[in-house]
Structure 1
Amino acid sequence: MERIHYVDGSVVTGTAIAQSLLRFGEALARRQSSATVRIPTRQADGAVGSATFLLGPASQMVTESESSPYDELIDDALVASFEREASLIGVPRVQIDDQPTAAAELSVSLDVDES
């Protein structure tokens, strides 16, 4: 699960939903465009609710992983629609995993002359 933080609050949703929402929001922002979208959310008591987001150039959202005793929220059709729209706008899908890449493992040493 992921918690999406925005202006004055936050909601919990499925990981794939949150990540695809961010990619779609990024795509819209790059095009100076906006859209209103509704996503499923997990409420504190475990019930499924929903939240509506206005995505656009001024959107400021952060997601973080969150453990939950409840099942992961999954909406494959919604994720696919966000991914499709982001691709049409021009933002490629990037797969993020926990494995370090060669770039992440690169160590840089700088010699600094303090004279």
Structure 2
Amino acid sequence: MERIYYAGDRFLTGTDIARALVAYAAALAQQGSAGAIEIPVRHEQDGRPGVVNFLVGPASQLVTESVEADGYDEVRDEALVARLQGLIAELAPMHPVASTSAPDRDTVDYDWTDEV
């Protein structure tokens, strides 16, 4: 379980969710952009579940720490984690990839004797 500190408040959520949220905030910050994302949380005061909408980006002051939350089940949302990972991948800079294979010379359909 992770405790998220955000905007003067704190919330408990699952470890995978918290780590994906921080990675998403970092990806947005690298792009100079911001985004809003809702994540499931557990309020520490009474243990009730809830949903918090986080605005994350370059100015986000978002901190997480691992905690032992006695009596509370780990908050899980695999679909949300996958969605965050997809958003992070979309924000990643594109890098060209060199092919390691040689072209198949038998399939080149160009007559080198043609005049230009």
The normalised TM-score by structure 2 is 0.74
**SS of aligned partner of 1:46:** coil
CA RMSD of aligned residues (A): 1.2
Which residue of the partner structure matches residue 79 of structure 1?
Answer: 81
- Percent of matched pairs sharing the same residue: 44
Which residue of the partner structure matches residue 4 of structure 2?
Answer: 4
The normalised TM-score by structure 1 is 0.75
Which residue of the partner structure matches residue 25 of structure 1?
Answer: 25
**Count of equivalent residues:** 91
Larger Rg: 2
The gaps in structure 2 that reach 5 residues or longer are 94-116
Question: What is the identity, as a one-letter code, of the residue corresponding to 1:11?
Answer: F
- For 2:72 and 2:11, locate their aligned partners in 1 and report how far apart those are by CA, in whole Å: 14
Structure 1 residue 48: Cα displacement: 1.0
Question: What is the identity, as a one-letter code, of the residue corresponding to 1:24?
Answer: Y
Deviations 1:74-103 (A, max 9, x none): 000000000111011117xxxxxxxxxxxx
Which residue of the partner structure matches residue 38 of structure 1?
Answer: 38
- For 1:8 and 1:46, locate their aligned partners in 2 and report how far apart those are by CA, in whole Å: 19
